[in-house]
Amino acid sequence: MWSDGYVTDIEYTTHYFHHLAPGHLRFVLTLKGLVGAAVDDAFDHMELGCGQGLTTLVLAACYPKARFFANDFNPAHVQRARHIAREAGLDNVTFLETSFADLEAADLPAFDFIACHGIYSWVTTENQRAIVAFADRHLRAGGLFSVSHNVAPGWSPLAPLQWFIRTYAEGLHGSSERRFREALGVVEEMAGSGAGYFAMQPAVRAAIARIKRESARYAAHEYLNGAWHLLTQHDMATQLAPAKLTFAASADMVQLNERLVLPDAQRAALAKFEGQPLYETVKDFLRNAGFRRDIYIRGGLRLSGGAREAAIAALPLALLRPRAACTLEAVCPVGKVQLGAAHAAMLDALVEGPQTLATLAGGGDGTSLVRAVQAAIRLAVAGHVAPCSIGWNGGADPAAVAATARLNRVLLASAAVAEPAHVLASPVVGGGIGVPQNARRAVLGTGDPLPADEAAVVAAAYGPLLRQLAVA
Ligand SMILES: C[S@@+](CC[C@H](N)C(=O)[O-])C[C@H]1O[C@@H](n2cnc3c(N)ncnc32)[C@H](O)[C@@H]1O
């Protein structure tokens, strides 16, 4: 059976993942003092298990000089992605209808980036081994392996819930969606009767409420697969070690500043593990993490002192949304963090266009650069700014401007796009930019019209951005 116990009769959701964008990865890595394999915008990129392929499509449009490959064994996913690539005239991307086990036979080059998002926890141990072997064979020295996975302890209370839904659904007939709904109905009945498992575990009750809100596309791929692994970061690092991969950083911007993640007492407890293999796992226990997005590196140059400072100073940052839509607060794991005048000034400066951290720091000594970095992290966590594309050098590559314009028009109009695109491709950030629904309604006329006064305000704010993205 080609599915290997994985759900194949219902397509996965259509999402773009900004933490896989090369500019974002370079930003995080540079702050950690590391240099990856990709030195310019002519790199090689592979996405393992690409689903609908939106992330790879957006990145391929942003980086016309790079080569993109992506695989998925579900033909419905691959057909859609190929169709969109063809409609958008993207000739630097290849979608392979291939399983992880069969990738060895495909004639693929060495890569600077291998992305594996939403895969590793949900496939069999044999497929996990095939993924690690692929990274071992195909990642260049200095190459980055981005991987996400469910982690204990956050997900642990839900393990019996996943087991029950999957096992009950296995005994039913019909589509995955139907079987999932029926199993969920039984779960709700149990919970409603006051069953101890649900009554004693607030995380399980919250999960049920969440599942009911989520699309069946997501829920079936999360809960119905034959394989479902909860790994610790320590487990993941151990499994990747044979491929010469070591942990570089979390890909979550907020993790770059632990003050935004853990209260003081917990940071003190964590400090005892500094430099030890259990550091990240202890952090997950402290914050009760249920999911991780991480960057592992094969080798990797380590910069120090002046070289590291110069690399950080040269990092460019861009505004992601209209200045008027930037509220002065960031929602962090420790709670809401208020942003101040320095953050507002940085946002004002970015209205003119992307700036390097050196410029945003306003000259001065290393302290002002450190302050600019911290402000940039908070603004990125708030969703207001993002690192620019790897090739950005005072302006975007004209070929990327043309390719992203073509893709954006296709994303808004093509019948091959399974769900309304929540992002459009930006040649400046080298990735997707979220476009809120009200902006689509006001500027693009999609969906129900907004009341006229609200439409005017939203159109004034988002019109320039959507014109830049070549759709308005
Ligand atoms: C949860 S989805 C994630 C998709 C995409 N990475 C994302 O995050 O949107 C997992 C994907 O892996 C694919 N997949 C599962 N097992 C596979 C296998 N053995 N070989 C290739 N693709 C597989 C599925 O078809 C599905 O599209």
Please state which of the ranges 8-17, 28-37, 85-94, 203-212 shows the lowest mean pLDDT. Answer: 203-212
Closest by CA position to 101, among listed 131, 56, 123, 81? 131
How confident is residue 448, by pLDDT bands cut at 50, 70 and 90? confident
- Give the residue from 335, 361, 387 where a domain finishes: 387
- CA 88 to chain CA centroid, Å, is 23
- CA 55 to chain CA centroid, Å, is 9
Atom of ligand 1 nearest to the CA of 14: 9
In a domain, 321, yes or no: yes
Kindly write down the DSSP assignment for every residue of 351-408, as one continuous string.
HTS-EEHHHHHTSS-HHHHHHHHHHHHHHHHTTSEEEPPTT-SSS--HHHHHHHHHHH
In a domain, 263, yes or no: no
Instruction: Give the Å distance between the CA of 123 and the centre of ligand 1.
Output: 8
| pLDDT for 113 beyond 80 | yes
| pLDDT for 176 beyond 90 | yes
Who's near 338: CB < 8 A, 6+ residues apart?
A: 328, 329
Per-residue model confidence (pLDDT) at position 25: 98
pLDDT, mean of residues 159-170 = 96
User: How many CA atoms does the CB half-sphere of 17 hold within 13 Å?
Assistant: 21
- Give the residue from 183, 198, 223 where a domain finishes: 223
Ligand 1 mutation target, pool 16, 59, 117, 119, most atoms within 8 A of CB: 119
Per-residue model confidence (pLDDT) at position 307: 95
Domain that holds residue 169: 156-223
Q: Is the CB of 80 under 6 A from ligand 1?
A: no
pLDDT, mean of residues 167-179 = 95
In a domain, 297, yes or no: no
pLDDT, mean of residues 88-104 = 97
Instruction: Give the Å distance between the CA of 294 and the centre of ligand 1.
Output: 18
- Report the alpha-carbon distance of residue 244 to residue 53 in Å, rounded: 28
Q: What angle do helix axes 233-240 and 125-138 make, rounded to 10 degrees? A: 50
Q: Is the CB of 111 under 6 A from ligand 1?
A: no
Atom of ligand 1 nearest to the CA of 52: 9
Residues 402 and 459 in one domain: yes
Tokens of 449: 């019209």
Residues 163 and 203 in one domain: yes
Per-residue model confidence (pLDDT) at position 419: 87
| pLDDT for 193 beyond 90 | yes
- Report the alpha-carbon distance of residue 146 to residue 25 in Å, rounded: 9
- Give the residue from 387, 408, 435 where a domain finishes: 387
Ligand 1 mutation target, pool 3, 6, 95, most atoms within 8 A of CB: 6
Domain count along the chain: 3
Q: Is the CB of 222 under 6 A from ligand 1?
A: no
Residues 179 and 219 in one domain: yes
Residues 326 and 374 in one domain: yes
Atom of ligand 1 nearest to the CA of 49: 12
- Report the alpha-carbon distance of residue 349 to residue 343 in Å, rounded: 10
Residues 438 and 382 in one domain: no
Who's near 202: CB < 8 A, 6+ residues apart?
A: none
Residues 406 and 463 in one domain: yes
Instruction: State the first-to-last Cα distance of the chain, in angstroms, to the nearest integer.
Output: 47
In a domain, 115, yes or no: no
Per-residue model confidence (pLDDT) at position 447: 82
Instruction: Give the Å distance between the CA of 72 and the centre of ligand 1.
Output: 6
Per-residue model confidence (pLDDT) at position 445: 84
In a domain, 463, yes or no: yes
Is 299 within 8 Å of 244 (Cβ atoms)?
Answer: yes
The sign of the CA dihedral 95, 96, 100, 104 is negative
How confident is residue 444, by pLDDT bands cut at 50, 70 and 90? confident
Residues 367 and 403 in one domain: no
In a domain, 256, yes or no: no
pLDDT, mean of residues 146-173 = 95
Per-residue model confidence (pLDDT) at position 446: 83
In a domain, 357, yes or no: yes
Who's near 152: CB < 8 A, 6+ residues apart?
A: 230, 231, 232, 284
How confident is residue 91, by pLDDT bands cut at 50, 70 and 90? very high
**Which amino acid is located at 305 in the chain?**
G
For 223-276, the pLDDT digits (tens) are 999 999 999 999 999 999 999 999 999 999 999 999 999 999 999 999 999 999
| pLDDT for 363 beyond 80 | no
Per-residue model confidence (pLDDT) at position 15: 94
Residues 426 and 463 in one domain: yes
Closest by CA position to 281, among listed 128, 154, 144? 154
| pLDDT for 81 beyond 90 | yes
For 378-426, the pLDDT digits (tens) are 999 999 999 999 989 899 999 999 999 999 999 999 988 988 888 999 9
Residues 378 and 411 in one domain: no
In a domain, 370, yes or no: yes
The sign of the CA dihedral 279, 285, 286, 289 is positive
